[in-house]
Chain A
Amino acid sequence: MSFDLIHFVSSAATTQATGKGEFTGAIATAAYLFACACFILALRWLSQPGTARKGNTIGQIGMLAAIVGALLQHHVIHYEWIFVGFAIGAAIGVPMAVFMPMTAVPQRTALSHAFGALAAALVGTGHYYLYKMDVLRPHPVEMGILCLEVLLGALTFTGSLMAFGKLQDLLPTRPMVYRGQILVNLSVLGAALVCSTLLTFNPQWTWLFPILLLLSLAFGVMLILPIGGGDMPTVIALLNGYAGLSACFMGFVLDNRLLIIAGALDGASGLILSIVMCKAMNRSFTNVLFGAFGQVKAGPAAQGEKKVAKPTTPEEAAGLLAAANSVIIIPGYGMAVAQAQHKVRELYDQLTRRGIDVKFAIHPVAGRMPGHMNVLLAEAEIPYDRLLEMEEINSEFPQCDVAMVIGANDVVNPAARHDKSSPIYGMPIIDADKAKTVMAIKRSMNPGFAGIDNELYTLDQTLMLFGDAKAVVAAVAKELGES
Chain B
Amino acid sequence: MTAPMPDISSHLYVFLLAAFLGLEVIRRVSPLLHTPLMSLTNAISAISVVAAIELAGAGHGVFATTLGVIAVIAATTNIIGGFLITDRMLKMFKKRGGQK
A interface with B by C-beta (< 8 Å):
1-2, 32, 35, 39-40, 42-44, 46-49, 52-53, 55-56, 59-60, 62-63, 66-67, 69-71, 73, 75-79, 81-82, 84-86, 88-90, 92-94, 96-98, 100, 102, 105, 108-109, 112-113, 115-116, 118-120, 122-123, 125-127, 129-130, 135-142, 236-237, 240, 243-244, 247-248, 250-252, 254-273, 276, 352, 362, 364, 369-372, 374-375, 378-379, 381, 383-387, 389
Instruction: Name the interface residues of B14-48: CB closer than 8 Å to any CB of A.
Output: 14-15, 18-19, 21-23, 25-48
B43 CB to nearest chain A CB (Å): 7
> Chain A contacts of B75 at CB under 8 A?
89, 115-116, 119
Instruction: Provide a sorted-by-A list of 14 A–B residue pairs whose CB atoms are within 8 angstroms.
Output: A52-B36, A56-B87, A66-B50, A85-B73, A93-B77, A94-B80, A109-B39, A115-B74, A116-B42, A140-B2, A251-B11, A255-B6, A255-B11, A386-B96
B interface residues, tally (CB under 8 Å): 87
Contact A261 B14 (CB under 8 A): yes
- Is there contact, CB below 8 Å, between A136 and B3? yes
Contact of A94 with B90 in the complex, beta carbons under 8 Å: no
- What residues on A are CB-neighbors of B88 within 8 Å? 97-98
Partner of A265, one of B22, B52, B71, B83: B22
A112-B78, A116-B45, A384-B94 as given contacts; A75 in contact with B29, CB under 8 Å: no
Residues of B that sit less than 8 Å from A by CB: 1-8, 11, 14-15, 18-19, 21-23, 25-60, 63-65, 67-97, 99
The CA of A140 and the CA of B5, in the complex, are separated in Å by 8
Q: Quick check: B53 and A76 within 8 Å, CB to CB?
A: yes
Nearest-CB distance from B76 to chain A (Å)? 2
B94 near A55 with CB under 8 A, answer no
The answer to whether A374 touches B85 (Cβ under 8 A) is no
Contact B50 A70 (CB under 8 A): yes
When distances are taken between beta carbons in the complex, the residues of chain A under 8 Å from B87 are 53, 56
Q: How far is the CA of A101 from the CA of B32 in the complex (A)?
A: 19
Q: Which of B7, B38, B69, B93 contacts A370 (CB 8 A)?
A: B38
B45–A126 CB distance below 8 A? no
Q: Is the CB of A374 within 8 A of B32?
A: yes
Most buried by A among B4, B53, B59, B94: B53
Tell me the bound Cα distance from A265 to B42 in angstroms: 10
The complex places the Cα of A151 from the Cα of B85 at a distance, in Å, of: 29
Which residues from chain B contact A109 at a C-beta distance below 8 Å?
A: 35, 38-39, 42
Determine if B44 and A268 form an interchain contact, defined as CB atoms under 8 angstroms apart. Answer: no
Which of A82, A381, A389 has the most chain B CB atoms inside 10 A of its CB? A82
Asked whether, in the complex, the Cβ of B69 is within 8 Å of the Cβ of A81, the reply is yes
Distance in angstroms between the alpha carbons of A251 and B45 in the assembled complex: 11
On whether the beta carbons of A130 and B69 are closer than 8 Å, the reply is no
Q: Is there contact, CB below 8 Å, between B76 and A258?
A: no
Query: Which B residues are CB-close (under 8 A) to A127?
Result: 55
Q: How far, in angstroms, from A385 to B100 measured CA to CA in the complex?
A: 13
How far, in whole Å, are A135 and B90 apart by their CA atoms in the complex? 52
